[in-house]
Amino acid sequence: SKKDTICYSERMLLQIGSQRSAFFSYVAFQVDSLVEAQLKQGNNVNVNDNSRVSWKLFKNVPSQGHTAYLDKVCMDNYRVVEKTEIPQWELVADSVKTILGYRCHLAKAVFKGRLWWAWYAPEVPIDNGPWKLQGLPGLILMASDSHREFVFTAVGLTNVHNSRNIYYKG
């Protein structure tokens, strides 16, 4: 029943590069950055990662046209690599919504067994979005499935000028 449903919110990070992208917990990103900095200084590190989302999703990894999904269950690491699937979006006419100051349009698609609704920004001509969502003529800034079991909402965009590779350790 709905009253027994446990909901949680997690800030996620979508890194988009020229060839690949990564989508994962922002808390995990902060922890990874802290650990990397401490190890470079030769310090021992004991950090508590309290992110609720343990998985990471990489697009065009390990090669173009593939998606790598990484997760950890107990002490075991798992990686699932599959061919990238693009949702077959249907654009919704006369739909306009402003998100983060960008004029967005609505699209819908049945994808991975769910009906998805996505608001995309043509002003940001990047074919990408949260999770495995992509394939629209603009960055997806908001998406949800029809039951609202999964809801993704962009809270900010940053154009990073100092080039840094998207790290994938496999």
The reported pTM is 0.85
Average pLDDT over residues 51-59: 88
Contact 66, 84 (CB under 8 A): yes
Average pLDDT over residues 132-151: 97
Question: What SS3 state is found at 140?
Answer: strand
So what's the pLDDT on residue 109? 98
pLDDT in tens, 57-97: 999 999 999 999 999 888 898 999 999 999 999 999 999 99
* Segment among 12-16, 42-46, 73-77, 78-82 with least mean pLDDT: 42-46
- State how beta strands 66-73 and 56-59 pair: antiparallel
Reply yes or no on whether the pLDDT at 9 is more than 80: yes
160 vs 165, higher pLDDT = 160
So what's the pLDDT on residue 36? 63
Best CA proximity match to 99, nearest among 59, 160, 23, 152? 152
Contact 31, 46 (CB under 8 A): no
pLDDT in tens, 121-137: 999 999 999 999 999 99
Half-sphere exposure of 87 (CA within 13 A, CB side): 29
Q: How far is CA 150 from CA 10, 13, 88, 159, 169, in A?
A: 11, 16, 19, 26, 27
Contacts of 82 (CB under 8 A, 6+ apart): 66, 67, 69
32 vs 153, higher pLDDT = 153
Question: What H or E segment, with its residue span, contains residue 32?
Answer: helix 26-40
